[in-house]
């Protein structure tokens, strides 16, 4: 049986991850770093398109990968408005959605992927973009008519990791209930009920726990005061709460390993903030436990910070009583992208379109 060569593309704020899969077997994975001095030449994210595309093509050429041998390109999907979970063919209409108002690096994946795929005459896809929306109507209600809570989270990794946990437990994902905690630069905590994420904090717009780079939920009155303080433009304030707040602003680092080192050296503020982050995560887990009415097959912890046994111990102190805690550190986004495309290429699933 011939295998499919699938290129996966997953851009972050300072790097672009690419990987080549033969079906779901990883051939190689590479992080292409984008130093600040190179990114600083672009005033808008969309302007980084050519630069990142060139980096990918140059790297593949250096590795002697013939682009013509690719069968499909699978891309991280970004902020494109609420859509159901699944794999989507990138067509002109999705391309337009991806390229309109690009405020998150993940949108660049599909923009690059679609252009490359047209040159190569192969299909390109996105799977489980950041704005996958399976939230129950009741979870969207706020106290202000016309304002709804939105579903923006690590959908790709949360879903992939929940499926893996289900496998570990010999269960089916769509017959199980999980609380998934993704702890990376941002933190999302999702209530997965029978394969649907019926409630989750909006990790992009400032909802949920304080995170390494993010403010999390802040009392509204203080936010109003900040908006009118004259200290920030609208763009600056948005950038601050989503990129430079949280541990980054308090301690000058978003690296939780640095924070642990500070604690070892007796830094009391670092210890308090580290514990506060764990405390806030647990409080949100408690909320999601009520969303699932206590019927929880497992709580699954993932993301970079899940590598820290010390942090996991802190979480367990408060959430152990709710059920089994499964730790799957890191993320499986590249594999999830390859598998998303593969399900379509093999006919197991029909690609969605918008």
Q: Report the residue number, 94 or 301, with the smaller CB distance to ligand ATP.
A: 301
List Cβ neighbours of 31 (8 Å cut-off, separation of 6 or more).
Answer: 15, 16, 17
Choose the contact partner of 110 out of ligand CCCC(=O)O, ligand ATP, none; CB within 5 to 8 A by kind: none
d(CA 139, CA 291): 9
Write the interaction track for ligand ATP spanning residues 90-119; mark x where CB under 6 A is met and - where it is not.
Answer: ------------------------------
Choose the contact partner of 257 out of ligand ATP, ligand CCCC(=O)O, none; CB within 5 to 8 A by kind: ligand ATP
Q: Report the residue number, 115 or 243, with the smaller CB distance to ligand CCCC(=O)O.
A: 243
Write the interaction track for ligand CCCC(=O)O spanning residues 141-170; mark x where CB under 6 A is met and - where it is not.
Answer: ------------xx----------------
Burial 231-257 (b: 16+ CB within 10 A, else e): eeeeeeeeebbbbebbbbeebeebebe
Write the interaction track for ligand ATP spanning residues 232-261; mark x where CB under 6 A is met and - where it is not.
Answer: ----------------------xxxx----
Burial 188-199 (b: 16+ CB within 10 A, else e): bbbbbbebbbbb
d(CA 267, CA 262): 5
Interface residue with ligand ATP among 86, 186, 208, 216 (CB under 6 A) is 186
Q: Minimum distance from CB of 294 to ligand CCCC(=O)O (Å)?
A: 27
DSSP bridge partners of 22:
5, 25
Q: Report the residue number, 202 or 308, with the smaller CB distance to ligand ATP.
A: 308
Give the DSSP letter string of 253-311.
---HHHHHHHHHTT-HHHHHHHHHHHHHHHHHHHHHHHHTTT--SEEEEEEGGGG-HHH
Q: Report the residue number, 130 or 273, with the smaller CB distance to ligand CCCC(=O)O.
A: 130
Interface with ligand ATP by CB under 6 A: which range of 55-63, 123-131, 223-231, 299-307?
Answer: 299-307
Interface residue with ligand ATP among 136, 304, 318, 354 (CB under 6 A) is 304
Q: Report the residue number, 184 or 208, with the smaller CB distance to ligand ATP.
A: 184
Structure token pair of residue 332: 């499986």
Question: What size, in residues, is the chain?
Answer: 354
> Are the C-beta atoms of 19 and 65 separated by less than 8 Å?
no
Q: Minimum distance from CB of 151 to ligand ATP (Å)?
A: 16
DSSP bridge partners of 8:
19, 74
317-336 residues near ligand ATP, rule: CB under 6 A: 331
CA angle 86, 89, 95 (to 5 degrees): 115
Which residues of this protein are in contact with ligand CCCC(=O)O, per CB under 6 A? 130, 153-154, 185-186, 203-204
């Amino acid at each position: 049986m011939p295998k499919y060569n699938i290129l996966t593309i997953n851009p972050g704020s300072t790097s672009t991850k690419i990987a080549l899969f033969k079906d779901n077997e990883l051939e190689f994975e590479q992080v292409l770093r984008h130093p600040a001095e190179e990114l600083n030449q672009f005033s808008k994210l969309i302007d980084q398109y050519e630069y990142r595309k060139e980096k990918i093509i140059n790297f593949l050429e250096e590795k002697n990968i013939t682009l013509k041998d690719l069968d499909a390109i699978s891309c991280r999907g970004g902020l494109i408005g609420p859509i159901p979970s699944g794999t989507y063919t990138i067509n002109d209409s999705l391309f337009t959605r991806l390229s309109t108002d690009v405020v998150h690096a993940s949108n660049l994946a599909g923009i690059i992927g679609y252009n490359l795929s047209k040159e190569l005459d192969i299909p390109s896809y996105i799977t489980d973009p950041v704005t996958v929306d399976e939230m129950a109507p009741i979870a969207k209600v706020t106290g202000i008519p016309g304002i709804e809570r939105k579903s923006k989270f690590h959908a790709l990794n949360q879903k992939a990791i929940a499926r893996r946990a289900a496998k570990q437990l010999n269960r089916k994902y769509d017959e199980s209930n999980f609380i998934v905690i993704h702890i990376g630069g941002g933190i999302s905590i999702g209530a997965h009920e029978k394969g649907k994420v019926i409630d989750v904090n909006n990790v992009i717009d400032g909802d949920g726990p304080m995170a390494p780079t993010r403010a999390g939920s802040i009392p509204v009155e203080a936010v109003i005061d900040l908006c009118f303080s004259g200290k920030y433009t609208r763009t600056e304030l948005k950038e601050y709460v989503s990129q430079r707040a949280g541990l980054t602003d308090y301690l000058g680092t978003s690296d939780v390993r640095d924070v642990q080192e500070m604690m070892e050296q007796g830094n009391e503020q670092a210890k308090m903030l580290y514990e506060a982050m764990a405390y806030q995560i647990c409080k949100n887990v408690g909320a999601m436990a009520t969303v699932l009415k206590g019927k929880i097959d497992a709580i699954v912890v993932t993301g970079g910070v899940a590598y820290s046994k010390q942090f996991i111990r802190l979480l367990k102190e408060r959430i152990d009583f709710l059920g089994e805690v499964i730790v799957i550190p890191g993320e499986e986004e590249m594999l999830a992208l390859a598998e998303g495309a593969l399900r379509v290429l093999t006919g197991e699933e029909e690609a969605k379109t918008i």
